[in-house]
Structure 1
Amino acid sequence: MVNDQIMLLERAFLNPQAFPNQYYYSHVIWASKSSDQATFPGLADAYTSALETGDWDQVQKHLTIVVHAVESAASTLEAV
């Protein structure tokens, strides 16, 4: 039972739509070694881009994805 929860915990952080231009990458928290950011790569990249362009829609999108992932992960750890 605990192993199932741990497996589901990790899966909660996978979102294939978080990075539509990078089909091989879907982890919301950890970045690939080629990324400039170590954690929350989508949110960090969107924030950096928004500072330059003023387009905050992508920041909101990635923040929503991160919040959903954390909430999903928390629900997998509830006592069964």
Structure 2
Amino acid sequence: MLNDQLMLLERTFLNSRAFPEERYYSHVLWAPRTGSAATFPGLSNAYSRAKDTAPGSEAWAEVQRQISIVVMALEGAAATLRPVADL
């Protein structure tokens, strides 16, 4: 069961909508980035584009979208790693 959980864990971090401008990348944790953070590149990239714009702009809406993607991935990972009752 643990091996199955670990294999499924990686899949929870795949999201085809994480990088709308880069169709080749879909991993929420690891991908090329333009921001300064080493993980969550979609969020890092969105924040680096939005930080000099006005609040409420389209760039900040993208930051909120990226936060939602990260939260969904983390919740999926937590659910995947929950202990499973042995049969």
Counterpart of 1:17? 17
Counterpart of 2:78? 74
Unaligned runs of 5+ in 1: none
The aligned runs of 1:1-80 (5 Å cut-off) are: 1-32=1-32, 35-36=33-34, 37-54=37-54, 55=57, 56-80=60-84
Unaligned runs of 5+ in 2: none
Deviation beyond 2 Å, 4+ runs, structure 1:
35-38, 52-55
TM-score, normalised by the number of residues in structure 2: 0.82
Identity of aligned residues (%): 58
SS at match of 2:65: helix
Q: How many residues align?
A: 78
TM-score, normalised by the number of residues in structure 1: 0.88
Max radius of gyration: which structure? 2
